[in-house]
Structure 1
Amino acid sequence: MNQDYIKAHPWSIIEEGFDSEQVESSESLFSLGNGAMGQRANFEEHYSGETFQGSYIAGVYYPDKTRVGWWKNGYPEYFAKVLNAPNWIGIDILVNDVSLDLNTCKKVEHFRRELNMKEGWYKRSFVATLPNDWEVAVDVTRFLSLDLDETGAIQYNLQVLNSDAEVIMVPYLDGGIKNKDTNWDDKFWNITNVTSKGKRAFVESHTMKTNFSVCTFMQSELYIDGAKSDAEPTTKKDDTSVGHSYIIELSKDETLTLIKFGGYTVDRNHPKDRLLQAANTVLDEAIQLGFDALLQKQKDAWAKIWEMSDITIEGDVEAQQGIRFNIFQLNQTYLGKDSRLNIGPKGFTGEKYGGSTYWDTEAYCLPFYMATKNQEVAWNLLKYRYNHLEKAIENAEKLGFSNGAALYPMVTMNGEECHNEWEITFEEIHRNGAIAFAIYNYHRFTGDYSYIPKMGLEVLIGIARFWHQRVNFSEEKQQYVMLGVTGPNEYENNVNNNWYTNYLAKWCIEYALEQLKVVQESYPEDYKRIIQKTDLAQLETEDWAKVAGNMYFPYSEKHDVFLQQDGFLDKKMVKVQDLDKSERPINQKWSWDRILRSPYIKQADVLQGFYFFEDHFSQEELERHFDFYEPFTVHESSLSPCVHSIQAAKLGRMEQAYTFYLRTSRLDLDDYNKEVKEGLHITSMAGTWMSIVEGFGGMRVLDGQLYFAPKIPDQWQSYSFKINFRNQIITVHISADGNSFEITGNEPLTIQVNEKPVKLIPGETVKA
């Protein structure tokens, strides 16, 4: 049974009625972010119940020392943790000396919260009866500004309903926080200064080990029935926190409003010795604008984002809510402004996975950002990996590779591997292929080749060198084999000849060789620079070609399919549909030993290869492999349903494609994996976008041309989306009655729809 308390709405996430069992889940679902920082939807007022406090700053992390029982050569020294940052949202409230705490209130009525995705704000309201029988009505609006991205704003309205009362409001900053997922209970932050000046307060701190300097700041103003209060606060301060205490004699039904601005200035963006000055400047801007004007700017900024990235669905509110939630959270997490940043699997919504970068970015997120932003955003994602090339070479050296071979990390903050599960750190090497594929995918989609001679070819050379060194030549098979790997299916560890990994290795080498020729012929100066820098010789590339041309791929003649790895058919081949439901999910019900000996697949593995390289295989081959592997797939990875939805749609199995789509789009909203309280699945959300655009819309780029093969689920009346293809905006509208296309710009464009050419002319709607 999935959770069902989130109300269906096309533009908002809505919860009605207070349930303490749902607090931590809702803290994830109602999270806010603006690309520079983010926070879980913790209550502003004190809450003594179960809660997962979380405020996070992009790019600020701590190297939590690896905790393992047995150290292995090459092991990462640390696991990078996105840090729970000093809390700026807090507002303690007392009514006649009794704390407002929803966990201890006698009654909580009319509780409602809404995350308005269209306009980018979060609102919460309720009526509560305190233990002393005073009734209060509260209405709070909060947002993290996209325009002033170091700033967030809170408008906290409170009324006393039964009689006059003394109300104490204490907006505060708290630097005395910890991560929930610390290995050793380390002290992550060192507080260096806590200051208060007038209605402003500051906590200056730096992270231990990584030494990021941060100034957390706030300023508050009080209003009674809209009129500014002249009440002056008293300051409460200790070594890690500072608060401003206002005492107000509030008449019955008067509205007491606290406007609070807060946020962070960070030495990633300002000189270390000027963070306090920068904080004052940010507060000056916020105060000058005021809450209402800043909120209007927020609405305008989100309107601009939605103008390009929205997907509309008619006839299915849950599906509509799901895709918008996914698009909203992706934009809250990453906006492409800063090439030093990337997309963590939990974004700003939790601490699991350390907030670091995985191969998810290249495999799943890049297509979304390429198609819904300008080209520069996708370029920044690729530049991130080029900037880390030297670290990738160091990572490979630690494992015994040489000569500039590069192994990109499974998990990273700064290019250094910081994942501490051996079967993934050492063996899930297919992530290298996703980096190379992203370079190919960027050129294929944008038509911009310039990244490859400037940066990308060096990355491809390092990756090709790695694959060349990673294979063994099998005397028995007289082919090159890949031993001791973990494929995308993490329910199989330390296997030999994972088909997907072998196929990627072959493709990466061949692609690197192709690009060497192109750059040599068309960019001779870049070629000369790169050859000198990498010391690449012809004999080396000839050896690469031998490996790529003689790679071994496990195959079953009986089933006429590539095998996921050697020995896959030695397992007891019981299909998922024949498992007792009480044994699902197997990752929570089975021992790891039992999982590893089973045929069950966590996510697309062979089928991931068929997704990346679908033009290498026929429709019949896809169907055969889909029919063989999907019945053994338990879809216990957030990245699984989207790939299967795309392939089911390609095969014309729309009911199955729709089921997978609904699962990927509502994975968190419906908490399929019973873990949403730990944070949202941000990177898989890009797969949700792909399942509509590439799955149902059938969008592909082949030979520089845009192709569509539109299909529509029976549950929908219509759907539409936009694509920024080579700086031209194409609007696609698909319905059961027919399809239409429009183009914005000055130039006509010929596309293919169901393998027929269609010429799009600006200002005209073309039916096809």
Structure 2
Amino acid sequence: MNQDYIQPDPWSIIEEGFDKEQVKSSESLFSIGNGAMGQRANFEEHYSGDTFQGSYIAGVYYPDKTRVGWWKNGYPEYFAKVLNAPNWIGINVTVNGEPLDLNTCKEVTDFRRELNMREGWYRRSFKATLPNGVEVRINVTRFLSLDFDEAGIIRYEVTPINAQAEIKFEPYLDSGIKNHDTNWDDKFWNTTNVISDGGQAFIEAHTMKTHFDTCTFMESELYHNGEKLDVAPAATTSELFVGHEYIQKADKGETLALHKFGGYTVSRNHKADGLITAAKKVLKKVTDFGFDELLDRQKDAWAKIWEMSDITIDGDVKAQQGIRFNIFQLNQTYLGTDSRLNIGPKGFTGEKYGGSTYWDTEAYCIPFYMATKDQVVARKLLKYRYNHLGKAIENAEKLGFSNGAALYPMVTMNGEECHNEWEITFEEIHRNGAIAFAIYNYYRFTGDYSYIPEMGLEVLIGIARFWNQRATFSTQKNQYVILGVTGPNEYENNVNNNWYTNYIAKWCIDYTVEQLQKVKDGYPEDYGRIIGKTKLTDAETEQWQIVASNLYFPKSEKLGIFLQQDGFLDKELITVADLDKKQRPINQKWSWDRILRSPYIKQADVLQGFYFFEDHFTIEELEKHFDFYEPFTVHESSLSPCVHSIQAAKLDRMDQAYTFYLRTSRLDLDDYNKEVEEGLHITSMAGTWMSIVEGFGGMRVIDDKLSFTPRIPDQWKSYSFKINFRNRILKVTVDQEGSKFKLEGKEEMSIRVNGNRLVLNPGSETTA
């Protein structure tokens, strides 16, 4: 049974009624971010119940020493922890001397949370009867500014209902915080300065080892029935804490409001000795605007994002809510303004997985950012990998590879591998292929070839060198094999000849050789620079091609399918439909040994290859492989349902495609995997976008032209989305009668719809 307490709404995430069992789940679901920082939806006031406190600053991490039973050569020395940062949102509230704490109140009624995705704010309201009998109404609104991304703003309103009350607000900063997940209970932060300066307060702290310097700051204003009061706070400071007390009486029905402005300045963006000065400048800007004007600016900023990235669905509120939630969280996590940043799998919503970058970025996220922003944003994500090429070569050297072979990390913050599970760290090497595919995909979609001679070809050479060295010649098979790997399906470790890994390895080598020739012919200066830098020879590329042309692919001639890996048919092939539902999810019910011996697939594996390289296979081949592998797939990875939705749509199995779409779009809202309290699945949310655009919309780039094969689920009246294709904005609308296309700009554009050429004229809607 999935959770179902989130109210259906097209533009908001809404929770009604207070349930202590849902607090941690809601802290994830109502998280907010602005690309530079983010936080879980923790209560501002003290809460003594079960909670997961979390505030995070983009790019700030700690290298937590690896904890393993015994060391292995090449093992990463640390696991990069996304750091729980000093807390700036806290506001202790007391009413006639009684602390407001929803865990100890006599009664809590009219409890409501709303995350307004259209306008980018989070609001919470309730009535509470405190142990002393005073009844109050609370309204809290919070947002993280897109215009001033170092700042967040809170308006906290208290209205006594049944008696006059003395209200004490104590907004505070607290650097005495810890991560939920530490290997050795290390001290992650060192607090160096706690300052109260009039109505402002600052805590300077730096991370241990990585030495990111930060300044957490705040300034508050007190209002009575909307009128600003000129009151100076009393300050409380300690080694890790600074609080400001504001005390004011309010009659029944009168409202006291605290406006709190807070946030972070960081040495990534400012001089380390100038963080307080920078914080004062931020506070001056935001307090000059004030809460209401900042909120108006927030609404305008989000309106611009939605103008391009919104997907509308008519006739299915839960589906509509799901896709907007996914798009909203992606934009809260990464806006493309800083090429040093990337898209962490939990974003700013939790600490699990660590790191800021997985192969998810290249395989799932780049298409979303290419199409809903512009190619500059996607290029920054590719530049991020180019900037880490040296580290990728170092990672490969640690494992015994040489001559500039590059192994990109499974998990990283700075390009260095920091994943701590050996069967993934050493063996899930298909991640190299996703990075090469993203380079290909970027050029295919944007038409911008310049990235390849400028940066991408060096990346491709490093990856091709890795595959060449990773392959082993089998005298028994008289072919090259790739041994001891983990494919995308992490429920099978240390297997030989994972079909997807072998296939993408061959493709990477072939594609690199092709690009070498293209750059040699068209960009001779870049070619000369790259050959001089990499010392690449014709003899080396000839050896690559020998490996690529003689790679082994496991196959069952009897079934007419590629095998997931050697020995897959030796498993006891019981389908998921025949598995006792009480055994699900198997990753929480079974031993790892039992999982590894089972036929069950965590996520698309062979089918991931069919998704990337669908033009290499016929529709009949896709259908045969889909029908064989999907019945063994438990979809216990967030990255699984979207690929299956796209392929089910391609096969015109719309009921199945729709079911997979709902699962991917509402994975967190409905908590399919029973783990949402740990944080959201940010990177898979881009796969949800692909489920509609590439799945139902059938968008592809074929022969350098946009192509669509639109389909629509029976449950929907219509849907629409926009695409930025080579700086031309195209709106696609699909209903039960057909499809319509509207082009913005000044130049006409030809596309293909269901295989037929269609010429679009700017400003007019064309029906297909």
Alignment match, 2:395: 395
Alignment match, 2:84: 84
Distance in structure 1 (CA, Å) of the matches to 2:166 and 2:154: 22
Residue pair 1:346, 1:355 contacting (<8 A) in 2 also:
no
The offset of 1:356, in angstroms, is 2.2
Alignment match, 1:137: 137
Distance in structure 2 (CA, Å) of the matches to 1:436 and 1:273: 41
Amino acid across the alignment from 1:506: K
Residue pair 2:160, 2:254 contacting (<8 A) in 1 also:
yes
Amino acid across the alignment from 2:687: G
Asked if residue 657 in structure 1 is aligned to residue 657 in structure 2, the reply is yes
Question: What secondary structure is seen at the aligned counterpart in 2 of 1:354?
Answer: coil
Amino acid across the alignment from 2:625: H
Distance in structure 1 (CA, Å) of the matches to 2:643 and 2:24: 29
Amino acid across the alignment from 1:102: L
The offset of 1:227, in angstroms, is 1.0
Distance in structure 2 (CA, Å) of the matches to 1:51 and 1:615: 48
Distance in structure 2 (CA, Å) of the matches to 1:318 and 1:249: 44
Alignment match, 1:472: 472
Alignment match, 1:312: 312
Amino acid across the alignment from 1:388: H
Alignment match, 2:222: 222
Distance in structure 2 (CA, Å) of the matches to 1:591 and 1:355: 26
Alignment match, 1:296: 296
The offset of 1:230, in angstroms, is 2.3
Amino acid across the alignment from 1:29: L
Alignment match, 1:75: 75
Residue pair 1:221, 1:259 contacting (<8 A) in 2 also:
yes
The offset of 1:703, in angstroms, is 1.5
Question: What secondary structure is seen at the aligned counterpart in 1 of 2:353?
Answer: helix
The offset of 1:254, in angstroms, is 1.0
Asked if residue 750 in structure 1 is aligned to residue 750 in structure 2, the reply is yes
Question: What secondary structure is seen at the aligned counterpart in 2 of 1:168?
Answer: strand
Q: How does 1:508-523 map to 2 (within 5 A)?
A: 508-523=508-523
Alignment match, 2:721: 721
Distance in structure 2 (CA, Å) of the matches to 1:162 and 1:714: 53
Residue pair 1:430, 1:504 contacting (<8 A) in 2 also:
yes
Measured against aligned partners, the alpha-carbon deviations of 1:140-190 in whole angstroms (never above 9, x if no partner) come to 000000000000000011011111121111000001100001111111000
Distance in structure 2 (CA, Å) of the matches to 1:231 and 1:121: 28
Distance in structure 1 (CA, Å) of the matches to 2:107 and 2:716: 42
Alignment match, 1:2: 2
Alignment match, 2:556: 556
Question: What secondary structure is seen at the aligned counterpart in 2 of 1:353?
Answer: coil
Asked if residue 187 in structure 1 is aligned to residue 187 in structure 2, the reply is yes
Residue pair 2:404, 2:465 contacting (<8 A) in 1 also:
yes
Measured against aligned partners, the alpha-carbon deviations of 1:661-693 in whole angstroms (never above 9, x if no partner) come to 000000000000000000000000000000000
Measured against aligned partners, the alpha-carbon deviations of 1:235-271 in whole angstroms (never above 9, x if no partner) come to 0000011000111122221100100000000000011
Residue pair 1:153, 1:291 contacting (<8 A) in 2 also:
yes
Residue pair 1:62, 1:210 contacting (<8 A) in 2 also:
yes
- Which blocks of at least 5 consecutive residues in structure 2 are unaligned? none
Question: What secondary structure is seen at the aligned counterpart in 2 of 1:350?
Answer: coil
Residue pair 1:81, 1:356 contacting (<8 A) in 2 also:
no
The offset of 1:224, in angstroms, is 0.3
Distance in structure 2 (CA, Å) of the matches to 1:252 and 1:765: 58
Distance in structure 1 (CA, Å) of the matches to 2:230 and 2:479: 82
Question: What secondary structure is seen at the aligned counterpart in 2 of 1:352?
Answer: coil
The offset of 1:220, in angstroms, is 0.0
Alignment match, 2:406: 406
Question: What secondary structure is seen at the aligned counterpart in 1 of 2:217?
Answer: strand
Asked if residue 363 in structure 1 is aligned to residue 363 in structure 2, the reply is yes
Amino acid across the alignment from 1:31: S
Measured against aligned partners, the alpha-carbon deviations of 1:406-426 in whole angstroms (never above 9, x if no partner) come to 000000000000001000000
Distance in structure 2 (CA, Å) of the matches to 1:237 and 1:667: 43
Measured against aligned partners, the alpha-carbon deviations of 1:707-731 in whole angstroms (never above 9, x if no partner) come to 0000000000000000000000000
Residue pair 1:481, 1:552 contacting (<8 A) in 2 also:
yes
Alignment match, 1:93: 93
The offset of 1:702, in angstroms, is 1.1
Amino acid across the alignment from 2:113: R
Q: How does 1:676-687 map to 2 (within 5 A)?
A: 676-687=676-687
Amino acid across the alignment from 2:59: G
The offset of 1:232, in angstroms, is 1.9
Distance in structure 1 (CA, Å) of the matches to 2:664 and 2:195: 46
Alignment match, 1:116: 116
Asked if residue 617 in structure 1 is aligned to residue 605 in structure 2, the reply is no
The offset of 1:355, in angstroms, is 4.1
Measured against aligned partners, the alpha-carbon deviations of 1:362-398 in whole angstroms (never above 9, x if no partner) come to 0000000000001110000000000000000000000
Matched residues, number: 768
Distance in structure 1 (CA, Å) of the matches to 2:756 and 2:228: 66
Asked if residue 586 in structure 1 is aligned to residue 586 in structure 2, the reply is yes
Alignment match, 2:372: 372
The offset of 1:231, in angstroms, is 2.4
Residue pair 1:482, 1:496 contacting (<8 A) in 2 also:
yes
Distance in structure 2 (CA, Å) of the matches to 1:291 and 1:376: 32
> TM-score, normalising length from structure 2?
1.00
Residue pair 1:358, 1:410 contacting (<8 A) in 2 also:
yes
Distance in structure 1 (CA, Å) of the matches to 2:767 and 2:298: 36
* Overall identity of the aligned pairs, in %: 76
Measured against aligned partners, the alpha-carbon deviations of 1:349-370 in whole angstroms (never above 9, x if no partner) come to 0000014210000000000000
Alignment match, 1:279: 279
Q: Which moved more, 1:240-249 or 1:438-447?
A: 240-249
Distance in structure 2 (CA, Å) of the matches to 1:149 and 1:126: 29
The offset of 1:764, in angstroms, is 1.1
Distance in structure 1 (CA, Å) of the matches to 2:594 and 2:113: 43
Give every structure 1 segment of 4 or more consecutive aligned residues whose post-TM-superposition deviation is greater than 4 Å.
none
The offset of 1:738, in angstroms, is 1.5
Question: What secondary structure is seen at the aligned counterpart in 2 of 1:329?
Answer: helix
Residue pair 2:222, 2:229 contacting (<8 A) in 1 also:
yes
Residue pair 1:308, 1:722 contacting (<8 A) in 2 also:
yes
Distance in structure 2 (CA, Å) of the matches to 1:554 and 1:340: 40
- Which blocks of at least 5 consecutive residues in structure 1 are unaligned? none
Amino acid across the alignment from 1:305: I
Question: What secondary structure is seen at the aligned counterpart in 2 of 1:244?
Answer: strand
Distance in structure 2 (CA, Å) of the matches to 1:544 and 1:574: 40
Amino acid across the alignment from 1:517: Q
Q: How does 1:614-763 map to 2 (within 5 A)?
A: 614-763=614-763
Distance in structure 2 (CA, Å) of the matches to 1:659 and 1:296: 38
Amino acid across the alignment from 1:312: T
Distance in structure 2 (CA, Å) of the matches to 1:633 and 1:681: 19
Distance in structure 2 (CA, Å) of the matches to 1:251 and 1:274: 44
Residue pair 1:145, 1:294 contacting (<8 A) in 2 also:
yes
Distance in structure 2 (CA, Å) of the matches to 1:465 and 1:628: 34
Question: What secondary structure is seen at the aligned counterpart in 2 of 1:194?
Answer: strand
Asked if residue 126 in structure 1 is aligned to residue 117 in structure 2, the reply is no
Distance in structure 2 (CA, Å) of the matches to 1:205 and 1:153: 21
Asked if residue 207 in structure 1 is aligned to residue 212 in structure 2, the reply is no
Residue pair 1:576, 1:631 contacting (<8 A) in 2 also:
yes
Measured against aligned partners, the alpha-carbon deviations of 1:21-50 in whole angstroms (never above 9, x if no partner) come to 000000000000000000000000000000
Residue pair 1:158, 1:255 contacting (<8 A) in 2 also:
yes
Distance in structure 2 (CA, Å) of the matches to 1:3 and 1:276: 44
Amino acid across the alignment from 1:57: I
Distance in structure 2 (CA, Å) of the matches to 1:487 and 1:260: 48
Amino acid across the alignment from 2:669: L
Question: What secondary structure is seen at the aligned counterpart in 1 of 2:354?
Answer: helix
Distance in structure 1 (CA, Å) of the matches to 2:502 and 2:330: 31
Distance in structure 2 (CA, Å) of the matches to 1:193 and 1:181: 26
Asked if residue 524 in structure 1 is aligned to residue 524 in structure 2, the reply is yes
Q: For residues 483 and 577 of structure 1, do their structure 2 counterparts lie closer, same or farther at Cα, with a shift above 3 Å needed?
A: same
Q: Which moved more, 1:228-237 or 1:270-279?
A: 228-237
Distance in structure 2 (CA, Å) of the matches to 1:596 and 1:98: 55
Residue pair 2:79, 2:419 contacting (<8 A) in 1 also:
yes
Amino acid across the alignment from 1:103: N
Alignment match, 1:178: 178
Residue pair 1:347, 1:355 contacting (<8 A) in 2 also:
no
Q: How does 1:150-161 map to 2 (within 5 A)?
A: 150-161=150-161
Alignment match, 2:197: 197
Q: How does 1:444-593 map to 2 (within 5 A)?
A: 444-593=444-593
Asked if residue 29 in structure 1 is aligned to residue 29 in structure 2, the reply is yes
Q: For residues 5 and 306 of structure 1, do their structure 2 counterparts lie closer, same or farther at Cα, with a shift above 3 Å needed?
A: same
